[in-house]
Amino acid sequence: MGEGTGRYLDLITIPQSIKVIEENAFGGRGYVKKIIYGGSVSDWLKISFGSSPIDGGTEIYIEDELMSELNVPDGIEEINRNAFAGYSYLKVLNVPDGVKKISGGAFANCTLLNEVNLGSGIEFFADGVFSGCRSLRTANFKAVSVLSSEDFAYGGALYGCNELENISFGGNINIGNGAFKDNKSLKSFSADGDLCAGDSAFEGCVNLAQLSFAGLNEAGKKSV
């Protein structure tokens, strides 16, 4: 199953039959350089991870392809905790409407992830789901209706996503007090529905060039 010496495993081959990867399953052997998975993307997303086998430079090959763009297949309703946590080769994530839940930490520390598109089944964020995704620049959230400063704080869903430039919502959106305050990266914000902006929601967003929404329900003090 595994090949390597010393602190590192050069290669781990994981068969489709594996349903659970327990914490410390690989004995704390530093990081794994390459994972070859014998099942499909759907099968990988159904694995229960006690901890992630991925660390920094780990490459994941599924169906003979390096996973750099993840198009979650139809039929998947939940993405488990740690499914791709720490995977630095993932750049684009597309989640269809049928997915109802993305568990905490599922894509934490995917440091090259730059685009996320979430379907209508995801209405709220689990803790730390995109934490540490420092290259994230474009995020499209069809059904998320609340975004607060806590989402950007330590442990929050978007903690460390400091390069976010473009964000859009598919319906009504409530932006909490100070959610984007002093964000120098944000350039575009749009909502297909109505906007409710708390105090200082966009204060100090000096590069925000586009702010569009269907209607304004409420605007707090210094919201823009």
Query: Each residue's pLDDT tens digit in the chain (224 positions)?
Result: 545 444 567 888 999 999 998 876 665 545 678 899 999 999 999 999 887 767 667 899 999 999 999 999 999 999 999 899 989 999 999 999 999 999 999 999 999 999 999 999 999 888 999 999 999 999 999 999 999 999 999 999 999 999 999 999 999 999 999 999 999 999 999 999 999 999 999 999 999 999 999 998 877 776 66
Burial class of residue 203 in the structure, from the number of CB atoms within 10 Å of its CB (0-12 exposed, 13-18 middle, 19+ buried) = middle
The single-letter DSSP state of residue 15 is -
Q: Rounded distance, CA 221 to CA 197, Å?
A: 9
HSE of 12, CA atoms in CB hemisphere, 13 A: 21
Burial class of residue 211 in the structure, from the number of CB atoms within 10 Å of its CB (0-12 exposed, 13-18 middle, 19+ buried) = middle
HSE of 10, CA atoms in CB hemisphere, 13 A: 4
CA angle (72, 76, 77) in 5-degree steps: 120
